[in-house]
Amino acid sequence: MDRNKALHILKEHLPEKRYIHTLGVLDTALELAKLYHCDEKKTELAAIFHDYAKYRPEDELKAIILEQNFPKDLLSFHSELWHAPAGAYLVEKELGIKDEDIFRAIYYHTTGRPNMSLIEKIIFIADYIEPGRKFPGVDEVRALARINLDGAILQASRNTISYLIQKNASIYPDTIHTYNYYLMKKEESSIHD
């Protein structure tokens, strides 16, 4: 699917503010894909459609999670997480984009996961650091993303966990596992340096 067609389809599913966010994620993801030598076409489609299901009704997202046997524990956490796995499924089902790399990049863009592929890392970080994002710590992650993608993921995960703790909000296990994985990876690399 070409970029213009993809953006046209997406625009019908998002309010203007979220569409502008997506354009920021797209530009950021493509910049990182060039920097880290990731497949630009796959990165482009994953970035465009990462929030494809964000404004679907909660009952539709819940039904997809149950029908597709996605982890049921998702339903115990904030519904803000549901659009990622449901969106990965809908991009495949409704748009016919059947690509495991794109599927996983969309599926894990909110929580991350241990041992992400390069495209998963890029979409996860691009969503976090796109130019429209303004919150404490984002500039540090932006700078890290251009020199050490794993370091950026570690810092973004740390920031997210701290933010959720301050709000007395529950933290989805994948977010904690992402933090632990990239922290241990950093510690192991410093031992070998």
Over its length of 193 residues, how does the chain's per-residue pLDDT go in tens digits? 999 999 999 999 999 999 999 999 999 999 999 999 999 999 999 999 999 999 999 999 999 999 999 999 999 999 999 999 999 999 999 999 999 999 999 999 999 999 999 999 999 999 999 999 999 999 999 999 999 999 999 999 999 999 999 999 999 999 999 999 999 999 988 776 5
The 3-state secondary structure of 85-130, one letter per residue: HHHHHHHHHHHCCCCHHHHHHHHCCCCCCCCCCHHHHHHHHHHHHC
In whole angstroms, give the CA distance from residue 193 to residue 183.
15
- The model's pTM: 0.96
Going along the chain from its start, the domains and CATH numbers come out as: 3-192 (1.10.3210.10)
Whole-number pLDDT of residue 21: 98
Give 157's contacts (C-beta < 8 A, 6+ positions apart).
112, 175, 178, 179, 182
